[in-house]
Structure 1
């Protein structure tokens, strides 16, 4: 039989092994069968892999370059320049069993199956797991698509079949805007001095958490050499956080901010508010004050106004005022 039973991390798994001498050359290949398959299903898959390995060894079929192969090449060549390197590597490692042995030229059915697995509340082993939102699925498949495209670019695979991948659209429809009173309630409930200051800075600057923690206060504003869009940015300092800018030096770690934020939002009666919603709230405050979307985009650090359009519905009063001016000249 092409498969054997082994124990890995305390659980029973099946391993496929191909070992033959073809034209005087000894060929040996081995890999784990995907988790969740029965012994019969593992044997059937093993026979399929046997046939494919033999076809490749005898020259009747080209070698299969898997998504796992694409990821390894992409990581080796490009990961040093990824801004989100740590998180991306963690995600790729987490879902490796789902894509490791998948042919990078046969993506449609696999992407549908993978999305179904991520949305499921049950693992392959029958254990309960947390279903993934479409935004998460979109990001994971996006990482894999980038790896496959790179493998095609450098000639590892013949065709770029990523257009056949079924990838859920990433929704940017979360619209949670908090007023100053609600922000202050959460800040007051926070017992950590630096986190309390960060909450106020987020509301009065529109900066992301990571930006707040590394921004350098200057006379001209908060200076950021590195931003998400790759360009430096200067955010004017609101008078109500001028004292914080002068006196508070942020040394707190991101995980601590998140931990203290969760405790403060629950204590203040706002359990569903995310720290990032303070950034949305800053945009809302500016737009409701009559600031145009182009200027708001500049404050938030959006490279184009496309990302700022999510706030366009807030500018209805400004639009109405503009329409009333038609024909008045």
Structure 2
């Protein structure tokens, strides 16, 4: 603890009672500046005043504060960083979420480079808005602008990390994501093949040299299954006699038992069986298939299908064909294993035939009818 004279020219502290600065040699004026310096628990407290009497008063006050322990306060612990939350979240999400690899990809490629080392209480809504603007202006590794859905995924994942940190007692501050408006999406695509495109695809598949690839596409076309569901399908899941199959853990639902059409059974019977494997649509060396991009691209080119027509479009075509033929949306929902009717509602506009039949039926139902008149004899007598 000390009181020093402050040199106004070179900003040096000199001992009390000095006539001139020990550093620059300048004499001190009558209106000296005094600095009170106190050290307590690693802290350095400095006060600068205009007279010695006030400096001594402040020195005495600071001494009293130290005695009372006012400076013996622990420094607030900084909030957990996003990376620390992620390291706790990853083992949990691997067990509890089927699409955890998507979370891992989004975090490593987008959130980690920007926010990983930031404590949760230092990330502001402005930081997140700035992050989204940067993504909107940026491009993916393929050189294409990021889709609104991709940007939204980042905000959704960031929101989830804040939420689990709060649920697990790791963080008790604000969630800045709640003050950020997520990008609006309008990417609901309903694809279907024209009659010519379907004929062309079927012609190519009939002559295609790789029967497994051809069978994969035909089975998808006749069942509307998702690509991942075909990858997981085993011979144990199929009953050819009863023409049914069990989908194990389909997207968002419990196991589902679905019927198989005659064509679907025909496809299964035509598949090659070069390996002793449980997988129906196996990959290299009989192992479980994990991708179908290459075969699909080659068959799509051979059939002359639009470049942007996806394999998932066959699922849409399956549903569109059924709805257009008059099959009700509830039945289509069950066949597609949709979690709720909202997903199937995208096909509602295709139900033209059903709506037209209903309108035509209304003509006969709403025509003028001949009504047989029944006379109430008691009422007739009373009237007389």
Contact 1:192 1:260 in 2 (8 A): no
Relative to structure 1, the CA distance from residue 280 to residue 92 in structure 2 (aligned partners, 3 Å threshold; closer, same or farther) is same
Is 1:150 aligned with 2:185? no
Give 2:252's aligned residue: 229
Cα deviation per residue 1:10-51 (whole Å; 9 max; x = unaligned)?
xxxxxxxxxxxx957xxxxxxxxxxxxxxxxxxxxxxxxxxx
Of 283, 289, 294, 2:325 maps to 289
1:66 lines up with 2:87 in the alignment: no
The higher radius of gyration belongs to 2
Cα separation, 2, equivalents of 1:279 and 1:308? 12
Report the alpha carbon displacement of residue 306 of structure 1 after superposing the two structures with TM. Answer: 1.0
What is the CA–CA distance in structure 1 between the aligned matches of 2:85 and 2:162, rounded to whole Å?
5
- Give 3-state SS (helix, strand or coil) of 1:199's partner: helix
Aligned residue number for residue 231 of structure 2: 213
Give, in whole Å, the separation in 2 of the partners of 1:189 and 1:114.
Answer: 50
1:250 aligns with 281
- 1:186 & 1:162 partners in 2: Cα distance? 50
Counterpart position of 1:30: none
Equivalent residue, structure 2, for 1:263: 298
**How far has the Cα of 1:202 moved from its partner?**
0.9
SS in structure 1 opposite 2:282?
Answer: coil
What is the CA-CA distance between 1:128 and the residue it aligns to? 8.9
Map Cα deviations across residues 160-204 of structure 1 (whole Å, 9 max, x no partner): 443223322343421211143254255357543212111111111
Instruction: Quote the offset at 1:64 in angstroms.
Output: 3.0
Residues 182/69 of structure 1: CA separation in 2 closer, same or farther (3 Å cut): farther
- 3-state DSSP class of the match of 1:273? coil
With over 3 angstroms needed to count, the CA separation of the structure-2 counterparts of 1:82 and 1:181, relative to structure 1, is: same
2:264 to 241, 263, 273: 241
Alignment partners' CA distance in 2, 1:128 and 1:197: 31
More deviation, 177-186/147-156: 177-186
Q: Decide whether the 8 Å contact of 2:253 with 2:337 is kept in 1.
A: no
Q: CA deviation at 1:104?
A: 3.3
1:308 shift after superposition: 0.8
Is 1:104–2:131 an aligned residue pair?
Answer: no
Pair 320,65 (structure 1): closer, same or farther in 2 beyond 3 Å: farther
Secondary structure of 1:291's aligned partner: coil
What does residue range 1-20 of structure 1 map to in structure 2 within 5 Å? Answer: none
Is there any run of 5+ residues in structure 2 with no aligned partner, and where? 1-39, 43-72, 272-279, 367-384
Q: Deviations over 1:270-321 (max 9, x none)?
A: 1221100000000001101101111100000012111111111112332343
Quote the offset at 1:212 in angstroms: 1.6
Higher RCO structure, 1 or 2 (CA under 8 Å, sep 6+):
1
Report the Cα offset of residue 122 of structure 1: 5.6
Question: Which ranges of structure 1 fall in alignment gaps of 5 or more residues?
Answer: 1-21, 25-57
For 1:28, the equivalent position in structure 2 comes to none
Aligned residues: 273
1:248-272 deviations in Å (ceiling 9; x for gaps) = 3311254552111012112221122
Normalised by the length of structure 2, the TM-score is 0.63
Corresponding residue number in structure 2 for 1:76: 91
Kept in 2, the 8 Å contact 1:224–1:232? The answer is yes
Partner of 2:353: 317
Alignment-derived partner of residue 199 in structure 1: 217
Structure 1 residues 222 and 326, CA gap change in structure 2 (3 angstroms): same
Change (3 A) 1:182 1:130: same
8 A Cα contact 1:121 1:128, kept in partner: no
Alignment match of 2:135 (pick from 101, 118, 132): 118
